[in-house]
Structure 1
């Protein structure tokens, strides 16, 4: 009987430790995303735009910079699928900018569009060969998440549908020998249609850093739940132990 009780306690401790580990992981994710939001806000508060050339700096691939520049829009439109905005499902339109300064192309996040029940993509696209003056927030591309299936599908007429933003795969598909910069430019929502030469279709632009993932508050909530489960397991084990001692 004592041996069986010890086995149950070992199982309870292992289960409680597992729940506690998950709680600590959620707390780590919370702190990580709080840092991301703070860095992004610091970049937004920066009064002087940085050169667009910084998009190609691999050492700053996970950083945020307020940036501006200009270049020519390539004849290609990329729609990123499964993008959330204000609780609605849709797609984000990405254009490829060939900057006047620098060798690598830069992806422009041109905004979000909802999809109807038939999932029909918008008919418009990026203004090919147009000279553009752009400004916005340099940030890492959307996380790829679970990587299964084909990342890109050609829709013909220089249009692509991306299941996830695989930047190297996109550069290969578009035959860009110098590749695409590791950071994208999230266009300034205040940069209106036609402003400073911008002729991109006016989608719903935003600078939301966590559009398709959990907020720090949600991570904290999950951490509390995991820690609560760990405590519950230990309490139940103690109660059952005392009950057995009383009946024996």
Structure 2
């Protein structure tokens, strides 16, 4: 029996949205799976004894491994990553290059969060760490970003430098030197650290699965409504063929 649609345009539009909602649900399930793998990798790798400069100077996947380095901070080239929030406070994430013994390139160290201060026109003072020190941290990839402009909001370079995002290629030009391809997130107990946590993901796999259920529910609801609205009307008794 051929299917007759009461309004094929609405049916086609509903089909498009059903496909979109289903695709978004599948994508959220995929993201939940990726986050589970990420959290498992974090849990396993942070249990390893801290690596040294000689270990991470070799090519490899060093994300989430703890590292102990000796050297000194380059306090003259501190970066302030803008628009960060920590415990409902607005401010900056502080990054300072670290010249480590045994590493050919300086490594950018995430020292944590500091509040914005009195106004955006006045940058907060960053406490320097002087002399030769030993630091402990966790290696991670640079934070992801969506760029609508340059890394800095000013054509002139003044230190500490406020940046909108971290891009190691652009940073190498500013510093006139390439940097190590991983960030080092400083241990919260380090004397040079500000407010900081070793946080792997902002959104856990459970939230992704919750969003997936919502998208699938929307697709199912739209399918049911489409079928109901496109059913042919029931014929009255007096309209039946005698």
Whether the TM-score (by the shorter chain) exceeds 0.5 is yes
CA–CA distance in structure 2, aligned partners of residues 80 and 57 of structure 1: 29
User: For residues 26 and 54 of structure 1, what CA distance do their matches in structure 2 show?
Assistant: 36
Q: What is the rounded CA distance, in whole Å, between the counterparts of 1:42 and 1:94 in structure 2?
A: 26
Tell me the equivalent position of 2:223.
234
Q: Alpha carbons of 1:67 and 1:245: their partners in 2 closer, same or farther (altered >3 Å)?
A: same
Aligned-partner SS, 2:77: strand
> How far, CA to CA, are the matches of 2:235 and 2:57 in structure 1?
71
Q: Secondary structure at the match of 1:98?
A: strand
Match of 2:30 among 28, 31, 34: 28
1:171 positional shift: 1.5
Larger radius of gyration: 2
C-alpha distance in 1 between matches for 2:22 and 2:53: 44
Alignment size in residue pairs: 231
CA positional deviation for 1:240: 0.7
Preserved contact between residue 55 and residue 138 of structure 1 (Cα < 8 Å): no
CA distance in 2, matches of 1:247, 1:131: 90
1:247, CA displacement in angstroms?
A: 6.2
1:207 to 175, 198, 212: 198
Q: How large is the Cα RMSD of the aligned pairs?
A: 2.5
Structure 2 gaps, min length 5: 237-242
Secondary structure, counterpart of 1:50 in structure 2: coil
- Offset from partner CA, 1:115-138 (integer Å, 9 cap, x none): 25623432124436x322111111
Contact 1:95 1:126 in 2 (8 A): no
Distance 1:122 1:116, change over 3 A: closer
Question: Matches of 1:20 and 1:117 in 2, distance apart?
Answer: 47
Give the structure with the larger helix fraction.
1
TM-score, length of structure 1 as denominator length: 0.82
Change (3 A) 1:227 1:56: farther
3-state DSSP class of the match of 1:60? coil
With the length of structure 2 as denominator, give the TM-score of the two structures: 0.84
Question: Are the counterparts in 1 of residues 83 and 91 from structure 2 also a CA contact under 8 Å?
Answer: yes
Over 3 Å counting, the alpha-carbon distance change for 1:240 and 1:57 in structure 2 is: farther
**Is the Cα contact below 8 Å between 2:117 and 2:124 reproduced in 1?**
no
Per-residue deviation at 1:167?
1.4
Counterpart mapping for 1:1-248 below 5 A: 2=4, 5-46=7-48, 48-52=49-53, 59-60=60-61, 63-74=63-74, 75-116=76-117, 118-119=119-120, 120-127=122-129, 130-144=131-145, 146-153=146-153, 158-176=159-177, 179-191=178-190, 193=191, 200=192, 202-210=193-201, 213-242=202-231, 244-246=232-234
| CA displacement 1:33-84 (0-9 Å, x = unmatched) | 22222211222222x11123555656426x3211111122222110111222
Take 2:209 and 2:56, find their aligned partners in 1: how far apart are those partners?
Answer: 32
Q: Is the 8 A contact 2:188 2:194 kept in 1?
A: no
